[in-house]
Structure 1
Amino acid sequence: MNPRPADATRPLEVLPPEVAGAYGYVNSCLWLPPGPGGAVPGVSLRQGEPLVRLVDAFGASFCGCDHRAVVSMWFQIYVAALLPPLFAANTYGGPGLRAELDTAGVLIAADGTCTGFVLEGAAPARGDPFERFGPVFLDHLAPLIEALAAGTHVSRRLLWANVAESLQAIAAVAEHIPGAPPDAGADADLLLESPLWPDGRRNPLAGHTRYAPTDHAHRERSRRVCCLRHMLPGFETCPACPAPPDRTP
């Protein structure tokens, strides 16, 4: 696959449009510096107050709804703008990108949600998945989750479950994108299933998902922790929900 060459004046094309299909949004999320302007320094999101302001701006549309669901959905939107585009860029021949929170610029919409990132170059583009994706999980999402949990009192377990669900969805999709490397899904699976990181640290992604084969050779994915999105108007229960399907909000 040959994504469009990097150009700092427009977002990175991490998947060729002819194969991106329903996932074409990933081609609007990642920018090289300087980016489109107005990015929030990622390092500022380590602090509770700026982060909570963004969540509160998003929550203004959901007055009276469970605050945990608001935080969870805000974070799911953030992860969707980061993890699938970054995985695509890394896996399908795009430039190596540094994904640490402290070096990233975070693009924010008027409603407080994340729409993309300005990321510097010079990171491993292929090779060991722990080396390639360690920065996004351990140096970006981990500190963000700590700050979000401290500022909103939503459990870390719920937030990490949202990350794991995004990664398992990537694993399922990667197997069926034309021209995808044969190890793309296996890399995501390894990150999800290994109990420890290579340096001995506990893997915060492990244990959040269940896999089972189906008649169509697709993964039948199920979360262990509900993301609570069904509690917000306009969001249906996700297909991977562990709760009974006849549950009412």
Structure 2
Amino acid sequence: MAPDGHDRTPQAGRPPGLSAAFAGPHAWCNEKMVLSEDLSDGMPLPEFFGSAAFDLAISTYAETSGGTDRRAVASMWSLYYFSYLTIPYVVARVLENQVLPVDFEEMTVALSADGLPRGFGVATSGDRPIDSGEEIFALLAPLMEAHLSKVVAHLKSSGGISPKLSWNNAAVYIDHALRTAGAAPLADQADSMIALRLMPDGTPNPFFDCLRYEEEEDGARVCRRKICCLRYLLPGVPSCGSLCALPSQRKQ
């Protein structure tokens, strides 16, 4: 029995974590995405973004980080949000063919004392489609359509950052997860995600050209963002190095 009175003993037939993929190098995902019933301080996402809670989270992070540029604060906040959301989703999808239920309307979020996202709650452990050989946009459709598009809109209206910046922030983590999640990196899928101007249904691809892989003078292949995440405007936050879109910030 946990201190909060809830029984944390695994139920019969229920895995100790949300996904068997959350093991080894991905064990940290067990702390970032759990069943909503196990996230005791979680708040439904529609309520969080639709009330003063989101603005308070941004203000709290601004105060604790010393950031004075609201766009930079909101962008940095979104980096935590997108990493904790997208990496577990991609890892489970790639390694276990498990589609976690990431519908915005049905998830909860919990925050740390500094206002940053701490973890997400989902209603169930999801399902496994019969066909696991999907192209990249079919693989990402539940994440893009039912969640990211809605959060991007809130980040624009309440956080003051452009949709292009938000999609770029999300693309960094999805690209990373696709290339590193499994024994056989899905580099071709990651390349398609950022190379195609249109998605298969003919609609604009929000990830198009968000990242570029370039070769340095020493022959090293590096990934670069198209749009800077603005972290350089926050005191004490390290540069993202070669990933940065701004040449002046890459060696900081």
Q: How does 1:51-62 map to 2 (within 5 A)?
A: 51-62=54-65
Tell me by how many angstroms 1:52 deviates: 1.7
Q: Aligned pair count?
A: 236
Aligned equivalent of 1:47, options 44, 47, 50: 50
Aligned equivalent of 1:141, options 139, 148, 165: 148
Q: How does 1:17-166 map to 2 (within 5 A)?
A: 17=24, 20=25, 24-47=27-50, 49-63=52-66, 65-93=68-96, 95-119=98-122, 120-124=124-128, 126-128=132-134, 129-166=136-173
Tell me by how many angstroms 1:217 deviates: 9.2
Q: What amino acid does structure 1 have at the position aligned with 2:64? A: S
SS at match of 1:212: strand
Q: How does 1:185-196 map to 2 (within 5 A)?
A: 185-196=187-198
Unaligned runs of 5+ in 2: 1-11
Structure 1 pair 218–190 and aligned structure 2 pair: CA distance change class (3 A): farther
TM-score, normalised to structure 2, is 0.81
Unaligned runs of 5+ in 1: none
- 2:201 and 2:29 map into 1 onto residues whose CA distance is 31
TM-score, normalised to structure 1, is 0.81
Q: What amino acid does structure 2 have at the position aligned with 1:221? A: C
CA contact (8 A) 2:17 2:34 kept: yes
Tell me by how many angstroms 1:216 deviates: 10
Tell me by how many angstroms 1:98 deviates: 1.1
Counterpart in the other structure of 1:228: 230
- 2:217 and 2:151 map into 1 onto residues whose CA distance is 38
After superposition, the CA RMSD in angstroms is 2.9
CA contact (8 A) 1:8 1:33 kept: no
Once the two structures are aligned, what percentage of the paired residues are identical?
A: 25
Is 57-66 or 225-234 further displaced after alignment? 57-66
